Structure 1
Amino acid sequence: MARAASQVYVAKGKKVVHLDLKRDRPSDDQLLALLLGPSGNLRAPTMRAGKTLLVGFEAEAFGELLG
């Protein structure tokens, strides 16, 4: 799912990590470290809007992204 996206935003607490997958290609291990929570499951909520993948939740940042 993440590899099909061109932009990935991952919220961890108040911090939001942005990956531009068209420009930078992290390793699978690096990508999984961002996408998986402490239980080993995909962080929730996870949603895809076009070619953008949003993982986790941070209201202010995602409000700006989703309009």
Structure 2
Amino acid sequence: MESASLILTGKGKKRQEWNPASDDKANILKDVIGPSGNLRAPTWRIGNEFIVGFNPELYEDVFG
């Protein structure tokens, strides 16, 4: 994820947009790592952007 220009996360109805260049990396990791210690699923990589977790509205916005 170090090459990411944008990370979008979804948990239920909660959405978050992260900018890895300026946002705190510890906070980003708290949001993208699941209870098992692995990257939360589902995870999509589109170019330099990542979508992590599940949120129907986020998917609608991204995938139309």
Q: Return the TM-score normalized by structure 1.
A: 0.79
Q: Which runs of 5+ in 1 are unaligned?
A: none
Equivalence for 1:46: 43
State the AA in 2 paired with 1:44: A
Aligned length: 64
- 2:18, 2:28 within 8 Å by CA — same for their partners in 1? no
The equivalent position to 1:26 in structure 2, one of 4, 24, 38, is: 24
- TM-score, normalised to structure 2's length? 0.82
Which stretches of structure 1, 4 residues or longer, exceed 4 Å deviation after superposition? none
Identify unmatched segments of 5+ residues in structure 2: none
Counterpart amino acid of residue 32 in structure 1: L
